[in-house]
Structure 1
Amino acid sequence: MKIAFQGEMGANSHIAIVEAFPDAEAAPYATFEDALAAIASGEADLGMIPIENSVAGRVADIHHLLPHSGLFIVGEWFLPVRHQLVAPRGAKLSDIKTVESHVHALGQCRKVIRKLGIKPIVAGDTAGSARAIAERGDKTCAAISSRLAAQIYGLDVLSEDIEDEAHNTTRFVLLAREEKWAKPDSGPLVTTFVFRVRNLPAALYKAMGGFATNGVNMTKLESYMVDGNFFATQFYADVDGHPEDRGLAYALEELKFFSREFRIVGVYPAHPFRATFSETKD
């Protein structure tokens, strides 16, 4: 099985694939558009795409690209993110003057960067930064990447697990060309859908009312512009349950009444991390 991801070998998306599908082939693509196109064309069987991070929030572009991709969510994966400060072989921590990485990784390691007094440089992604400093071989240049990237590109780990927050976790969605709903009553499930409300006073409030009255837990609701139009807003939502469950069926029926567009993007098993996280919160 070939699974597409955005970035380079050693990226966190690569790690998620290795954890979820140890026997699969991880296929890197330069951009999210390229990765989604590979799935849509059949060049890749599935895609492992990051959608949100517990520290940085939602991943840019994905909420905009996903509804237009024609792809479906068939699963999810949660990956605790552990950042390493890496540098060319033989480099010392005292020699480092700059550190480069993805803007989110730099933002998630502000304390260490400030403590060391080194200059952060924004780059395309974490694994690409590791490859770049390995190719340059400048022992004053470090990168923030995964341990897997350090192994792939032959770098030393100068400081381990430097993320500011221990809860730093990224949620990925598993994308496929064909819709494949999980079966009802097959365990904890997540239903993801996108919608646009009708141009009526309090339409969003009324559309959401059915979820409250039917006892449906909505775990995510985000909005974003459509085609750059300030007055055209699309919503992306995750709820617990299956569309055939009585409560969710009634809630979706009410939502559709107040919506001009509605599409279910996926019905898939909830990752065990959700239960673990809920227990720690309780």
Structure 2
Amino acid sequence: MPADRLKVAFLGPLASFSHQVRVINSTPSLTPHYWPKVDSNKCFVILQAAAESFERTDAELLPHVSFADAFTAVQQQVADYAVIPFENSTNGSVVQTLDLLADRSALYTDVEVCGEYYLTVHHCLLVRKGTYPSGWAGYDGSITKLYTHPQAWGQCNNLLSQHFKGVERQDVSSTSKGAEIVSKETGEQAAAIASKFAAEHHGVDILKENIEDRADNTTRFLILRNTRVERTAQLAFEQPSTSSSASTQKTLISFAIDHSSPGALANALLIFKAHGLNLTSINTRPSLKRAWQYIFFVECGRTPSDENKEAVLKALEDLRHATEFCRDWGSWKDQLSM
């Protein structure tokens, strides 16, 4: 294997939704890819660098059993990139990712966000091969246990409440892991919520397709890199778009405030407005320093211009005086405005 081959970490095992993000540079771009057949020993994404010094090449995919392992792979330069789910349009933020971005023990000091990718997510109800020969039309209500990643339950609530009320739900590390468990299950009638891709990979039957509540169910992934690795700084991630409007730049900043100081949060948020940064989302996670005190995550956007090219730097400078701490997690192109 060439020493300069790019390596991309993702939440495994193989056939998870993170695995379905295929990184390819046509402009460069990021596009979803459903692998027709997977060799578990040779599972790759294609990635082409934007810089002329990089030739079109494939990159090794490195499945990891947890989000933390993927973060660590980037921090320790075992992987050049990590593809991490950040939020879902139906079920909201991915708490595990926010907890890692909180970085309370300063484990990921060199990790930053360099891109994003939107993947439309279609879930299937998967069962062991041959369990229900007549498919969903012949389903007799005999499933006694369901497996999936915690984020998927809220995306399929309508089906679950109508047909699986009271059925035991088991959280697993990824949707693909649920499919794998069902493929080997012999002691009970179990099912998993995962993708068609996972069904093909693990050799299970699809009992029912497209079980998500909304047809536009979409997960946004963040692309992570290590700030000390120069070659990854040269890559840009852009999804194809027909929009003629100017693209905006997104920035993610985390900070904590003195909760005993009246107006501390309002003062911090006003800094973004003062520098022309449009707040697009705010999330919180417990600080774990004191109960009921939080780390805030703010995403903001701007359309780059000569007038605001230093807006983020100036905002961060002011935030350092108005907060207990703040951290810039990086800036990247807003793929929805491309």
Q: Does the CA-based 8 Å contact 2:88-2:220 persist in structure 1? A: yes
CA deviations over 1:179-209 (Å, ceiling 9, x no partner): 64999xx942111111223563212212222
> Which residue of structure 1 lines up, in the alignment, with residue 250 of structure 2?
190
Query: Which deviates more from structure 2 when the two are superposed, residues 230-239 or residues 77-86?
Result: 230-239
Task: Report deviation, 1:117.
Answer: 4.0
Alignment of 1:30-179 (within 5 A): 30-68=65-103, 69-70=108-109, 71-92=111-132, 93=136, 94-95=139-140, 96-98=142-144, 99-117=146-164, 119-124=167-172, 125-136=174-185, 140-178=189-227
Unpaired runs of 5+ residues, structure 2, are 1-5, 24-30, 33-44, 47-57, 237-245
User: For the structure 1 residues 260 and 80, does the alpha-carbon distance in structure 2 shift closer, same or farther, using more than 3 Å as the test?
Assistant: same
1:227 match: secondary structure: coil
Unpaired runs of 5+ residues, structure 1, are 277-282
Task: Report deviation, 1:234.
Answer: 2.0
CA deviations over 1:229-250 (Å, ceiling 9, x no partner): 2264322111113695255555
Task: Report deviation, 1:87.
Answer: 1.4
How far apart in 2 are the matches of 1:195 and 1:43? 28
For the pair 1:236 / 2:297, whether they are aligned, the reply is: yes
User: What RMSD over aligned residues (CA atoms) do the two structures have, in Å?
Assistant: 2.8
Amino acid at match of 2:80: D
TM-score by length of 2: 0.72
> Which residue of structure 1 lines up, in the alignment, with residue 309 of structure 2?
245
How far apart in 2 are the matches of 1:111 and 1:257? 47
Task: Report deviation, 1:213.
Answer: 4.1
Q: Does the CA-based 8 Å contact 2:94-2:151 persist in structure 1? A: no
Amino acid at match of 1:135: K
How far apart in 1 are the matches of 2:332 and 2:317? 20
User: For the structure 1 residues 197 and 33, does the alpha-carbon distance in structure 2 shift closer, same or farther, using more than 3 Å as the test?
Assistant: same
Moved over 6 A (4+): none
CA deviations over 1:236-273 (Å, ceiling 9, x no partner): 111113695255555444433312322211111111xx
- Give the aligned length: 272
TM-score by length of 1: 0.84
> Which residue of structure 2 lines up, in the alignment, with residue 4 of structure 1?
9
How far apart in 2 are the matches of 1:181 and 1:253? 26
Q: Does the CA-based 8 Å contact 1:88-1:138 persist in structure 2? A: no
How far apart in 2 are the matches of 1:210 and 1:32? 32
Q: Does the CA-based 8 Å contact 2:102-2:295 persist in structure 1? A: no
Task: Report deviation, 1:275.
Answer: 3.1
